[in-house]
Structure formats: structure tokens, C-alpha cells
Chains A and B, each alone.
Chain A
Amino acid sequence: MAEQGLEESLHRELGLTDDEYERICSILDRKPNHLELAMFSVMWSEHCSYKSSRIHLKRFPTEAPWVLVGPGEGAGVVDVGDGIGAAIRIESHNHPSAIEPYQGAATGAGGILRDIFSMGARPIALMDPLRFGPLDDPRSRWIAEGVVSGISGYGNSVGVPTVGGETVFDECYTGNPLVNVLCLGVLPVERLVLGRAEGVGNLAVLLGSTTGRDGIGGVSVLASAGFSDEASDADKRPSVQVGDPFEEKRLIEACLELLDSNLAAGVQDLGGAGITCATAETAAKGGAGMDVMIAPIPQREPGMEPFEVMISESQERMLAIVEPANLAAVLAIAERWEIRANVIGIVTDTGRLRVLDEENGQVLADVPAKALEQDAPLYDRPRSAPADREQRQLESANALDAPADPGADVLAMLSDTSWVSSQYDHMLFLNTVEGPGGDAAVLRLKHPSTGLDTGRGLALTTDGNHLWGAVDPYRGGVMTVAESVMNLAVVGARPLALVNCLNFGNPEHPEVMWQLSESIDGLSEALLAFGIPCVGGNVSLYNESRGTDIDPTAVIGLLGVVDVLETPPPGVRLVEGGRLLLLGHTEAELSGSAWAALKGHRGRGKLPEVDLEAVAHVADAVRDLVIAGLVQGAHDVSSGGTAVALAEMAVRSGVGFTAARLADHTDLFAESSGRAVLCIDPEKLREVLDVLEERGIEHSRIGVAGGDRMSVKGQFDLGLSEVTARWTNHLPDALGSGTVQG
């Protein structure tokens, strides 16, 4: 019988293996019905369960005295003093953005905002680390333009400033952009809430948008399994959701008002796996059960099947757990903000998630809530280093010919990303002291309830470097953390907490699992060395371009505190007459550098050694000098090396420089960790040098700022205006002049 065959293979069509199906049968002690199967399939998907990565993620250091909430909740939360908690999370929306760039990116921003305010925090900043295919590829340009428009359209309207991020173009992201989004929120520590369904008899109130057939994705196979006459065209519907920032804005205000008024015992956002995930998670984490009714869930269209309602990923919805006595007050707040609010469930003491068609109605599904949330299988997938790794390590970029025209190479590595950031509101809330374009964003820290300025600041940076990852995912991870620490140091901030967004290829490839595992270990080693806890993360797998896995791309977000914020940080700039200092040790190693990639050398050789203790010393010194007001301009040295760092300082300030003691292209372009360029007022130079000598910080006086040329003795001599034009026009020339719908 054809139908019988379909029935038997249904779990496979839903992405569950035969073993997983057996596991479900044994949990239930019977065969699951279609609805239950759908619920398990979404909850046990890679996206929701992290089944391939969880055993590795456990190795991250997660503890510190200031950590209030670590990984596993909607967001990590750290105590930043003055009774203020900072909530932080990062996520990826890579695959939706590849299909529908505008909505993919927009809903990515929407989803992460809900994670933040579900903790009781008001979102105050977004950061967007973005990676696209090369600019000469029309489809990559279309994706880039759509993603930026989507973030702009959603983020600006919902009223959360986008204060920074990264924009990288590389062939390895052709057709598979990386759209990562980080959100930071602040809350009075006493308002911290967790997504918990506690208290038998408490009500689950669904807030916000209607539930539609959008975002059902792979599970739409159920529709073609003969469930419904009307569902036959369901597979033609877009599986990417459509965002409504105005609904989200009202949802934020309503939820924060609920929490301010102590009307909700818990709040949970609806993201992947929709109502199934939100109800199962709140119930499981609260050690409770829940009965969910289909009938009161507002549906966007008639004829929706219960499984569609339960797994829909329609945007802009939240679940609040409310005591019955508070229901009227909750509904009144919802009405004031013009959002829907419906009681769709009740907390039970059974430990089971039951789905009923209506109150006291027919039971459509009955599964242990914990099983959905916690019993997904853990896989230790096979991993192995690439077979040619040893051979590739021997092929150092140091063997490349020295460039005939190093100045041309500097020009080729410069790009101003303000084409992107000028489309984002980066100033709302009057916090943004340093916005996009600096090494790290710096925000004034005001108390979220009283609005009182603490006189301190929060600093945020996102960093990732796939070229390093391709050579050595372990040391690439170490170097990325080192870069972030230095990015915070140059704005006067000390690191507090890290979140990570691990973008990798197909986990069924042993090399990809090896990359992921190595990357986690590298990041962890650096975190331990710096004493930074990891408070959250996201793993995005199956990132493949033209059938090839992307280069390993571990993106990290590092949150720091500026202990004294009386003046803006010096910034990436030069001041006429300033003396230039290069701090830190430069190792003669070009493998993995942007310059090597420019010459077609990628994924080979070895990355430079990293002495984490030395990096920490340099970062401490830079931070102290900045806070003491002894620094006119500061920039970390990373992609593109010292030459690009100097050039960026020059074009951002319109002040040139004359440098020496950068003897060859290795001195110009090497990317050793733990270095920074400082511009120092000549009158303060002695004081700064004394500090550096006292602390034993390796440093070199490399030149003087000033004039309208950028010159390095014996290497290059470029007109500042020419360089500025190239820097300024690079992106507008590529993206501003029309794009092609791919």
C-alpha cells in the first residue's frame, strides 16, 4: 500500500532518523501520532536541539561572579553594577537571508529582540556581523542590499539602534551569506525573569501576532501526507517568515509593562518551533506540565491543522505565564498597546505537554514536556582533521614574493562600511558615544528604571575571521578573542562576557565537526586566559556554498565595561603632530592574513603564535592609557596588519602620516595578535613611554602623524585624498549603482 509506505517513512521525511523514531516510541511507549511526530521533529531538529554541537559547547567556560544567567536561557545576563543587569545574545539568520534577504534579516532582528525582552530587559542595541559573497557577483550584491535594507527597515522602526557590526565580502559566502545579529539589553537586576511555567493553574497567555502557515518549512511534508484538502499548496508557501516591526514594537512595550507591574510570572518568546517550543520549554524548565488548547489560538487563515498551529514560526508572538487573578490586568495592558492576548493554556502538575482541540476537549497530543525539550539525542559525530592538513601547514605565505607595490595592496584592503551603517539608526536612546566604524561601540550606561547616568559605559564588539579559521580553527579562535579584547581596550573597556555565533558547514562532514570542536577549544582557551565567561551562543551548521563548506567562521560578541566615561574614547584617528607607537610583538608570519588571501594564498601555512599573557598585558596598558587621557588616537592591529591599521586611522581623521621601522611587507601586513597603534601627543610621549617601559610592554616608535600623504619609508607613499576616495567609494560604487535581482 502506497499510503502505508508513506506512513512508515513519514518520520524520515520530517528529518528524524529511524533511531530517533524508535526513541520517541520508547518515550511514549507507543507510536506517536502525526501531531506528536511533528512536535518531536521540530524540537529535535538541529536548529532547536543542538544535537550535533551540544557535547562540544559544554566545554566553554561559563562561570564568573558577575554572571547572573549563563547559557541555555533566552539570553545571558551579567551584573554590570549599580543594580543593572546586561542581557546579551547572538543568533544567526543565514539560511532565510539567502532565500529572502530582506525578510530573512528583518526577522532575525525581530527574533533576537524577543529573546532579550523575555528576560525583562529593554533592548538598547543591535550589532550585525554580516558576510556576503564577492561584490562582483550580482546575486551577492542583491543579497547584501536586501539584508542591509531588512535590518534597517526592521531595526529602525522597532526602535532599537544598530550600533555596529562587521561587513565582510568573500567568495566562500557566495550563495550562503552569514547574517548574524547580536542584541544587548539592560534591566534592573530585580526585574530579571526566566521563562518558567510555575504554579499549577497559572495561565499561558499568547501575546501578539496571529499564527499562520508561514515558517513551517520542512514539516510541510505532513501536509502532503494527506492531512487536509486545503493544505495541498502549503509547500508552495514561503517558509521564510515576514516581519512586522510595528507589532514587535507594541509587543516590547506591552511585555515590559507587564514585567514592570509584576503581572507575569514568566515570559517566553516564540521562535523556532513556535508554540510547541515555547510551551514545552516553559513547562520543562518550571518542572511542570501544560495543557494547550488549539481553539483559542488566533489563526491567520481558516482550515489550519493542529500541527500547523503548533509548529508555525509566525513572528511577533510571546507567551506569558500569568496568575488567574492578574489576567484582567494583563488583558488591559494588551488592549492599551493594541496587541492580541488569548489564554491558550494552563499549567498542570503532570509534567506532560498535552494539546487539546479546546478546553476540556479531545486530546490531540500527549507527550512528556521534558522529552521534547531535553531528551533529543546527543551526537558525537565523527570528526577528523583534513587529510592534507600537514602538507598544507608546510606551505607558508612567507614564501610568497614580496609585493612590487605594497601601496596598491594597502588600497585593495581598505573599505569604508558606512554605506551600511548610515542606513541604520545608531543613535536612538542617546547612548551612542562611539557608533559604527570604531573598534568597539561605546554606550552610556544609564539605569533602565531611573534613567540616571552611571558615569560609566558599556562597550561592544563583534569579531570573526574566516581566513584565520581556514588555516587553523583552534588558533583562529584564540586570535579572535584576542582581537576582541584589544578592540575593547582601545576604547577603554575591560571585558565582561562573551557570546558566540558559530557558523560552520555540514556537520556530517568529519572535517567540519573537527573545525567546530577545534574552534570551541581555541575560543575556550583564550576565554580562560582572560577570565571571560561565555554566557550564550548559537550554532549555525549546513552553511555551504556551491557544494563546498564555508570557511569556519566563529563570530564572537564581547561585552565590556568602561569604568570611567567622561570623554569619548580617542577613536580610530590621527592628530597632526602626534607620535605613532606600535605596541605588541610582531611575528614574521603572513599565513592566514588578508594580504596572503589577496595573493590567492588561503587555508595554508600556520597562524602566528599567540602569547595570551602578553596580549593581556598590552590590552591592560592600552586601556589604562586611554582612561588616563594620554591617547589621541588608537586602533587595534588585525586584518590587514599594521599598514591597514595606520591607513584606517588616516582616512578616518583626514590626517596623513610618515612612518619608518616597518622594514618589509611582513612588518606591514602580518596579523600577530595583541597589537595596537597609538597616536600620542608629543608632550605626553615621555609619560606614555615610561608606562610602557615600566610594564615591560614591547613597543616601537614608528612615526609621526600629519600632512596629506601616507608614507612608510621604503614601502609606499600614497596621497591621502587618493586613498580616502578609494576607501569611501568602494562600497557605494559596488552597491549604490543598482543591483540585479538574482
Chain B
Amino acid sequence: MSTNVAVIRFPGTNCEFDVVEVVQHLGASAEIVFHDEPSLGNADAVVVAGGFAHGDYLRPGAIARFSPVMDAVAAFAQEGGPVVGICNGFQVLTEAHLLPGALQKNAGLKFRCGFTDLRVESSNSVLTSAVTPGDILSIPINHFEGNYTCSLETLAELQSEDRILFRYVTNPNGSMDDIAGICNEGRNVVGLMPHPERACHDLLGSHDGINLMQSLLNAAGLSSVQGPS
């Protein structure tokens, strides 16, 4: 059986088809899981895709965290299954307390869309095993609320535990410590604001996202062979 990725779809999610396209392009299978599903089926990995879950009304992710599927995602993560939240998905994962911190409005109070250079800071996570610290990746951002913030204690933990996975080379949104992506203590739950799925095709200007998505599939493959540890 090929590796199967569950792509979570809330009302208002809009990047789910893009993630499915890239996962399939890399030879794995993907299934869209609607927010009211209580189960992830036979998923080997989960992607919480970008968009505007529930319109981002109230606060991005604030309503989505209560969807039935999020209990299943939390349980999957608890068992060590690989979970990646991209953009709005990152916001959802912080609201669901699967990742620390929060994403506030961009400094400058403008939506920002465009390619951004990211520096890989750690290869020790389900999304970064196939890249090397110091690598510079060209990956698009697309957000209004991408300005990462957390308590100084949490920041110190993230730093000392090597849990900051990506930093912006040029900070586009005021994010604390230039943070673009982090992981949890187990290193199996990752959140990042940039969209690796948008950088997987030469026609689209960059293929730097492929190694990230491949890292996820590798982790998923391991989890499907070994079962969640």
C-alpha cells in the first residue's frame, strides 16, 4: 500500500487540492478529510492545509480547533504520527495547542503574497529530514497573520531544543526571532507559514518545496511500516 496522506478540509480551506496534487505528484496517495469526520481513516501523515478555515472570522484557527476532526488529529499526533500545518494549518495547530505560540497580524498590517527565502535551521523533524541546516529555500508566503509570537520562556525552549526549523532571511511580517516554522517536542508536529506545496514545480518558479514534502512522505512511510511509535 502506498503512503496515504490525510489532507484536512475545513469550510474555507482552499489549499487542500494543491497539497493533494503535490503528494500525488510525488507518488503517494492523498485523501481529503472533511472537518466533521471523527476519524482519519488509514492516514500515515496529516496535512492541515492553508486557507481561511471558517473564514478566519474571530481569529484564524479559533473555530477550526473545535471541529471533530481535530480530536483525531491530536490523537494521531499524540501517537507520534507526522502532522504538518501549513499557513492557516499552522494557525489551527497553535490554536489547538499542538504547537506553542500564536500568529498575529503582520507588522505593516498588510496581506503579503510572494516568494520568500527561508534558511533551514534544523533537519531534525518530519518536514526537514531531507534538507540541511543552512540551506536557503525559495518558498512563497501568503498570509495576513503570519507574525509568530510566544512567551520568552517558550522562545528559549524552541531555541535550546532546536525546534526552530526555518527562519526568514528577510523578515516579511515581524515574526519573533525571524521564525517561519517550528516543531513540537516530539518533532512530529510541524507548523510553518510558507507554502512548500507552491514550490514544487519549475514552471511555478521554484522546486525547493519538494525536499520538504518528500521528508514528510518519508516520515509517513516509516510510520506506515512501523506504526506510530
Contacts and interface: CB of A to CB of B under 8 A. Distances in A.
B113 A246 contact: no
A153 B205 CA distance: 25
B11 A430 contact: no
Most buried by A among B12, B22, B113, B142: B113
Contacts of A253: 11
A422 interface: yes
Interface stretch (B13-21, B183-191, B215-223): B13-21
A651 B207 CA distance: 25
A249 B55 contact: yes
B23 to A, nearest CB: 12
Contacts of A66: none
A483 to B, nearest CB: 26
B17 to A, nearest CB: 7
B204 interface: yes
Interface string A563-585: 00101100000000000000000
B18 A429 contact: yes
A157 B51 CA distance: 7
A561 B18 CA distance: 23
B11 A426 contact: no
A427 B142 contact: yes
A421 B114 CA distance: 9
Given A430-B197, A451-B21, A567-B203, A423 B55 contact: no
Contacts of A249: 11-12, 14, 52, 55
B204 A159 contact: no
B18 A157 contact: no
Interface residues of B, number: 32
A253 B17 CA distance: 13
Contacts of B61: none
B21 A152 contact: no
A110 to B, nearest CB: 13
A451 B51 CA distance: 20
A444 B202 CA distance: 12
A159 B52 contact: yes
A427 B209 CA distance: 14
A429 B19 CA distance: 9
A568 B205 CA distance: 8
A642 to B, nearest CB: 28
A158 to B, nearest CB: 8
Given A246-B11, A433-B203, A422 B52 contact: no
B66 to A, nearest CB: 14
B114 A246 contact: no
A427 B14 CA distance: 12
Interface in A416-442: 418, 421-430, 432-433
B12 A157 contact: yes
A428 B197 contact: no
A152 B111 contact: yes
B209 to A, nearest CB: 11
A435 to B, nearest CB: 9
Interface string A266-281: 0000000000000000
B113 A429 contact: no
Interface string A135-177: 0000000000000000011001111000000000000000000
Contacts of B51: 159
Given A246-B57, A423-B113, A428-B14, A157 B201 contact: no
Contacts of B105: none
B21 A430 contact: yes
A245 interface: yes
B110 A246 contact: no
Contacts of B114: 418, 422
Given A337-B11, A433-B204, A568-B203, A426 B113 contact: yes
Given A157-B55, A159-B51, A425 B12 contact: no
Nearest to B201: A430
B164 to A, nearest CB: 25
Interface string B122-151: 000000000000000000101010000000
A250 interface: yes
A338 interface: yes
Interface string A442-469: 0010000001000000000000000000
B11 A432 contact: no
B55 A246 contact: yes
A565 B21 CA distance: 18
B14 A430 contact: no
A338 B11 contact: yes
Contacts of A159: 12, 14, 51-52
Given A246-B56, A428-B18, A430-B201, 16 more contacts: A156-B111, A159-B52, A244-B55, A245-B55, A246-B54, A247-B55, A249-B55, A250-B11, A338-B11, A427-B195, A429-B17, A430-B22, A430-B200, A432-B204, A568-B202, A568-B205
Interface of A: 152-153, 156-159, 244-247, 249-250, 253, 336-338, 418, 421-430, 432-433, 444, 451, 565, 567-568
13 contacts: A157-B55, A157-B56, A158-B14, A249-B11, A249-B14, A249-B52, A336-B34, A418-B114, A427-B113, A428-B18, A430-B18, A430-B21, A568-B205
Nearest 4 A/B pairs, CB to CB: A246-B55, A159-B14, A157-B52, A423-B111
